[in-house]
Amino acid sequence: MLDTPHPTPHAPTTDCFALARALSGVNFIGGRYVPAASGKTFPVVNPATGAEVATAAYGEAADVDAAVQDAARAQKEWAKMPARKRGALVHACAAILKEHQDELGHLIALETGKALRTESRVEAGVVADIFEFFGGLGSELKGESVPFAPNVLSVTVREPLGVVGAIIPWNVPMLLMALKVAPALVAGNTVVVKSAEEAPLAVMRICELMNRVLPPGCFNIISGFGPECGAPLVMHPKVRKVTFTGSVETGKIVAKAASEKLVPVTLELGGKSPMIVFADCDFEKTVAGALTSMRFTRQGQSCTAASRIYVERPIFDEFVSRMKAAVNGMVMGDPLDEKTDIGTIISQGQFEKVQGFIEEGRATPGATAHECSAMPSDPALKKGLFLRPVIFTGLDASSRLVREEIFGPVTVIQPFDDPEAVLAAANDSEYGLAASLWTNNLKVGLDLAHRLEAGLVQINQNLVVQANLSYGGVKSSGLGKEASLEAMLEHFTHKKTIMVNMA
């Protein structure tokens, strides 16, 4: 219920540059835009040009405290509202987000460098879908009756946890935020989000849009850096649940801090997802599937990206050559241009990190780096963080490129000869987020699906997160699930037992 004047337009706009300026220098707390208590800001950069397009409020402990206190006040009333009504409001948010899909697509393309047509607009659509899905689940917050004794009524009820602190990364910030905010709200919690320093704008606009229907204080967002803003959010005494998506390293810091307060934590961390291609697969479908699985349209900046592809030897050469041709056909360019397939890397630091992996791969004896696609020629993009995708062959299991998460447009393709060997190779990883198998032999496929160490295994497809399907990893890929009814019940409520002695 946004009532204070603010510079952002009411109607959807695709002038993302003007919108970015209007969103500058503020957090969204208690139903309104407010600058950081210190007045400090930091720049938001368009990675396709290097130009500063906005500033973001430099959130610190004082801002976190203001947001959490507002969220805690709002939570008392929010939790009293009938669950279906909360769901209806979240559903109404989804309708507004749908109207703003194109706008949000443009804005996220501007700040992250992800191509509008292949990635950014799609992400905005999925976000609306996630809110719509969870908006319908209010009536599923059910408890049980427990057969304790004939004269004692014994029931369980699902109660919200309180204020949820959510910390999100920059790669798919709107979607990853939706996976936390939607179930948290429907379950009766209120939320304070700490956005990623590289991508604070589109998530802020989503917060504003949703505050058109949510009571003030239910959904707040602060921009800022990890140690100054994320850490105080995790440690705030009134935050009763922490949900985090990001790196394994930071995830461990967050989990440790939350454990000091004994609050539950959900962690969605990295991945090194294997894609296993058998010679009997539907070849054309698999080539097309691999192209999307590698997430090169997102510059490989995805934890579910098929970053190690194992191909049965008889079709290995043909597969590699088809993949090279397919990636060569992708257009790298201005993320806001509808013709663009591949945009930019998010930041200079990430750019250098990915380049380091590529150089290491090139220097490995026996390895071949197949550089694909062409750099954009537009002089306006000469400072952009564009990086040609690379397909490596000739690397083995000991390579850092096979073992570590690169989070860039780099895939390693390796041949295999037998299902047991490829299963062992696929499971030989600290990660366990997602995996895909491509075969027409469903007996082999299902057998391997059961034995792959991953939270999500898909046969003959490799879709991104879908509403209603639990998503989350094992091993170092994380703790807990998102995106489903079970995830909402398990991670955003607790079960209270109530007993009535009627004797």
Site for ligand ADP in 108-167 (CB under 6 A): 167
Q: How far apart are CA 53 and CA 150, in angstroms?
A: 67
Examine residue 72 and tell whether it contacts ligand ADP (CB under 6 A). Answer: no
Examine residue 169 and tell whether it contacts ligand ADP (CB under 6 A). Answer: yes
Least distance from ligand ADP to the Cβ atom of residue 264, Å: 16
Identified catalytic residue from 268, 312, 405, 453: 268
**Residue in 178, 226, 211 with CA at minimum distance from that of residue 59:** 226
Number of shown-chain residues binding ligand ADP (CB under 6 A):
17
Which of 98-106, 124-132, 224-232, 380-388 is the region at the interface with ligand ADP (rule: CB under 6 A)? 224-232
Which residues does 104 contact at the CB level (< 8 Å), separation at least 6? 97, 120, 124, 127, 174, 202, 205, 206
SS (H, E, C) 314-355: HHHHHHHHHHHHHHHCCCECCCCCCCCCECCCCCHHHHHHHH
Which of 20-28, 123-131, 133-141, 189-197 is the region at the interface with ligand ADP (rule: CB under 6 A)? 189-197
Q: Which of 25, 31, 47, 230 binds ligand ADP (CB under 6 A)?
A: 230
Identified catalytic residue from 303, 405, 453, 482: 303
Q: Which of 216, 217, 246, 409 binds ligand ADP (CB under 6 A)?
A: 246
Q: Rg (Cα) of the chain, in Å, rounded? A: 23
Examine residue 253 and tell whether it contacts ligand ADP (CB under 6 A). Answer: yes
**303 among known catalytic residues:** yes
**254-to-24, 178, 225, 457 alpha-carbon distances in Å:** 28, 20, 14, 27
**Residue in 204, 319, 275 with CA at minimum distance from that of residue 459:** 275
Q: Which of 227, 237, 329, 356 binds ligand ADP (CB under 6 A)?
A: 227
Examine residue 250 and tell whether it contacts ligand ADP (CB under 6 A). Answer: yes
The alpha carbon of 277 is separated from its chain's Cα centroid by a whole number of angstroms, namely 26
Per the CB < 8 A criterion, the answer to whether 205 and 104 are in contact is yes
Q: Which is nearer to ligand ADP, 43 or 227 (CB)?
A: 227
Examine residue 247 and tell whether it contacts ligand ADP (CB under 6 A). Answer: yes
Examine residue 225 and tell whether it contacts ligand ADP (CB under 6 A). Answer: yes
Q: Which is nearer to ligand ADP, 319 or 357 (CB)?
A: 357
Q: What is the CA angle 251-198-258, rounded to 5?
A: 25
Least distance from ligand ADP to the Cβ atom of residue 250, Å: 3
Least distance from ligand ADP to the Cβ atom of residue 267, Å: 10
Q: How far apart are CA 267 and CA 481, in angstroms?
A: 8
Least distance from ligand ADP to the Cβ atom of residue 298, Å: 13
Q: Which is nearer to ligand ADP, 31 or 409 (CB)?
A: 409
Q: Which is nearer to ligand ADP, 160 or 169 (CB)?
A: 169
Pairing of strands 434-438, 273-277: parallel
Least distance from ligand ADP to the Cβ atom of residue 344, Å: 16
Least distance from ligand ADP to the Cβ atom of residue 483, Å: 19
Q: Which is nearer to ligand ADP, 247 or 292 (CB)?
A: 247
Examine residue 234 and tell whether it contacts ligand ADP (CB under 6 A). Answer: yes
**268 among known catalytic residues:** yes
Residue spans of alpha helices (H) in 221-247: 231-235
For residue 145, the one-letter residue type is S
Per the CB < 8 A criterion, the answer to whether 107 and 121 are in contact is no
Q: Which is nearer to ligand ADP, 256 or 495 (CB)?
A: 256
For residue 431, the one-letter residue type is Y
Examine residue 479 and tell whether it contacts ligand ADP (CB under 6 A). Answer: no
Least distance from ligand ADP to the Cβ atom of residue 13, Å: 26
Strand partners, 423: none
Per the CB < 8 A criterion, the answer to whether 205 and 28 are in contact is no
Per the CB < 8 A criterion, the answer to whether 473 and 267 are in contact is no
Residues binding ligand ADP (CB under 6 A): 167-169, 194, 196-197, 225-227, 230-231, 234, 246-247, 250, 253-254
The residues annotated with a catalytic role in the active site are 268, 303
